[in-house]
Amino acid sequence: MTGPLSGVATVFRRELATVVRTPGYGVLAAGLLLVVVGLLAAGGGGATGFVPAVVDLLLPTEVLVPLVAVVLGYRALLSDAESGELAVIRTYPVRVGEYVVGVLLARTVALVAVVGVPYALVGGVVWLTAAPDTGIFATHTGVDSPVLFVRFLALVLLLGAAYVSLAAAVSALAASRRSAIALGVLALVAGVLGGDLALLRSLAAGASPTTIPEALALTPNGAFRGLVFEHVIGVAFAPEGEFVATGRAVAALVVWSLLGAVVSGAALAYGRRVDAVIEEIRSGFGG
Amino acid sequence: MPDGPVATLSGVTRTYGGVPVLESVSIGFEPGVTAVVGPNGSGKSTLLRVLVGATEPTAGEVTLPGATGPKPLGYLPQRVPFREGFTARETLAFYARLVGDDPDAALKRVGLGDAGDRRVEALSGGMRRLLGIAQSVLGDPSLVALDEPASGLDPGMRERAFRAAAERADADTAVVVCSHALDLVDEHADRVVLLRRGEIAVAGPLDRLLDEHGAADARELYRVVVGETSAPARDEGDGDGSDGSGSDGDETEPAVHVTGVSDR
């Protein structure tokens, strides 16, 4: 007999084992490490400290991390549905919510490994090799510090978690691997570019620039970028300013994560019913 | 033995793309072995999917008056769906944990006690089906639905698979098996549901149906009722020893009945 936590834990273990046994994810992590190291070497920021390194990495991270997260999540819920195993799992006393949470948690742990480890390694290299003394743990603004890089890493993982969750929602909505890829790419492009384009459009339409900090916080990328400026880059180089509404930005990233989970659960729980209703309507027109 | 059926379908209809695959199917499944037979595309797999809740009917309802316990249903799809990369024991352990069952005992029950450490993809088609049957009966469900458990297997293995399924049927447990293997239906089934073009052509105890239609066995009954001039398209076990996926064309939901094509 199992309780909800036991159901989540059982699904989590299976999903994590699947991730661990997928060699592609190791390759993905190694590839990400190479790219990040390459970016730092090309930008030169890593040689001078954490904040310059973050400046070098910020923009590429806004593309790389969502990309990795989508790769980790775009088939997370589709694979069981596609193979028919989900129909088997649903004959067991595990609710859709438990199943989704178990899968998402495992994929998020995978994200921590695939994204977190390369970024942490890069942070370690900066700590060891940067020319100025980067061993100071900042207690006030204006000082570069490993703490700032740790903050950056935490924000990177928060951004990644939001995209993993959204990618899982895509996988729950998709009918096939091909449609999952198409929807995943669409979500990626919309997430990476959509928010900024919408912001630019609203400014062009006459919106006040003073609304930027609040508007920026609404999208995952905007919230992430704003938080990095506010709590990493801004801390070292400028008095604390209003790059973004912090609470709103953090809440936005959490809400995007929850939204993905809720959409995933709803798609799995009600997808068959919706399909049947559509069939009923179709039959009605046909008859 | 329970007074009533373990599961009932009342006026169940299911369409795909507006084309009916099941039409107004009403039937109760009682304890014992019920074989669902019919031509390719007659709606057998869809009936099973509706029965276990994997497919929502477009009309009608499914009730499980006699299915009790934490896991009232067991299900094995036509295409055994387990993840590759896991051993047979790990695969069953995942499901067993959800119902507090013992995966090793389940493996032994179907004769796979020595194959627990083999990866799913390294198992033969027959062994995968046995693994699927072991999975379907974990948690002691009241209703076990098996979609072509003997499909694509050699004669020895198909008999073993069917027997493993039939052994689960008792006074409280209904085993519903979709099958083209009419010799095994003769041997193991208590009741038969014969589908034709998404509708029930005949249903009832096998002995009674044989008497009513003057048939010597299930194969002859099939010919008399379905009106075919030959045996079912391909008996389970006559295949190439693969896992039989896709042998029927009934598994994939959109494989709907098309008059004049699918039942020839």
Alpha-carbon separation of residue B171 from A155, B9, B191 (angstroms): 59, 20, 14
Backbone φ, ψ for residue A120 (5° rounding): -65, -40
| Residue A16 or A287, more confident | A16
pLDDT of the residue at A136: 54
Q: Is A35 on the interface with B (CB under 8 A)?
A: no
pLDDT-based confidence at A153, cuts 50/70/90?
very high
CB contacts, 8 Å: A84 with chain B = 77, 79, 81, 251
Residue whose token pair is 């819920």:
A77
Average the pLDDT over A84-96 and give the result: 95
Residue type, B210: L
CA distance B207 to chain A (A): 32
A283:B58 CB<8 A: yes
Domain residues for the domain of A193 are 4-286
List beta partners, residue B204.
Answer: B192
**Does ipTM come in above 0.90?**
no
- Top-confidence residue, A134 or A162: A162
- Give the residue carrying structure tokens 């929850």: A258
Element containing residue B19 per DSSP (H, E): strand B19-29
Q: Which residues of A touch B77 (CB under 8 A)?
A: 84, 87-88
Nearest CA in chain A to B91: A14
State how far residue B52 is from chain A, nearest Cα, in angstroms. 7
Confidence at residue A237, expressed as pLDDT on a 0 to 100 scale: 65
Residue A143: is its pLDDT beyond 80? no
Average pLDDT over residues A180-204: 85
* pLDDT tens, position by position, A113-131: 999 999 999 999 998 887 6
**Residue A26 in contact with partner chain B when CB distance is under 8 A:** no
A7 touches chain B (CB under 8 A): yes
For chain B, state the CA radius of gyration: 17
pLDDT above 60 (res A240):
no
- Name which of B253, B130, B90, B91 is nearest A82 in CA terms: B253
Exposure string of B229-258, with b = 16+ CB inside 10 Å and e = fewer, is eeebbebbbbbeeebbbebbebbeeebbbe
Span A23-50, pLDDT tens digits:
999 999 999 999 999 999 998 887 888 9
Contacts of A6 in chain B (CB under 8 A): 97
Delineate the domains of chain B, giving CATH numbers in brackets: 7-79+142-226 (3.40.50.300)
- What is the rounded distance in angstroms from the CA atom of residue B242 to the CA atom of residue B249? 15
A282/B17 touch (CB, cutoff 8 Å), yes or no: yes
Q: How far apart are CA A223 and CA B83, in angstroms?
A: 37
| pLDDT for position A43 | 85
Compute the distance between CA of residue B72 and CA of residue A48 in angstroms, rounded to an integer: 64
Between B259 and A237, where is the model more confident?
A237
Question: Is the CB of A284 inside 8 Å of chain B's CB atoms?
Answer: no
Q: For A18, which residue in chain B has the nearest alpha carbon?
A: B85
The domain tally of chain A equals 1
Report pLDDT for B191.
Answer: 96
A-chain residue closest to B59, CA distance? A280
Distance in Å, alpha carbon of B215 to nearest chain A alpha carbon: 37
CA distance B114 to chain A (A): 22
Integer Cα distance of B223 and B152 in angstroms: 22
pLDDT at A167 over 80: yes
The answer to whether residues A126 and A149 touch, using CB atoms and an 8 Å cutoff, is yes
Cβ contacts of A25 on chain B, cutoff 8 Å: none
Question: Per-residue pLDDT for A1 more than 70?
Answer: no
The reported pLDDT for the residue numbered B39 is 93
Beta-carbon pairs below 8 A across chains A and B: 96
Dihedral of CA A34/A39/A44/A45: which sign?
negative
Chain B residues within 8 A of A22 when measuring between CB atoms: 85
Task: Evaluate if pTM is beyond 0.90.
Answer: no
- Is the pLDDT higher at A284 or at A123? A123
Res. A286: pLDDT tops 70: no
Q: Which residues of B touch A282 (CB under 8 A)?
A: 15, 17-18
* CA separation for the pair B231, B260 (Å, rounded): 17
Which parts of chain B have pLDDT scores under 70?
1-3, 228-264
Give the mean pLDDT of chain A: 88
Distances (CA, A) of A153 to A121, A136, B205: 11, 18, 67
Helix (H, G, I), strand (E, B) or coil at B27: strand
Answer with the residue of higher pLDDT: B69 or A17. A17
pLDDT at A85: 95
Nearest-Cα residue of chain B relative to residue A285? B18
CA distance A74 to A84: 17
Say if residue A234's pLDDT is above 80.
yes
Spell out which residues of chain B touch residue A87, defining contact as CB-CB under 8 Å. Answer: 49, 52, 54, 75, 77, 81
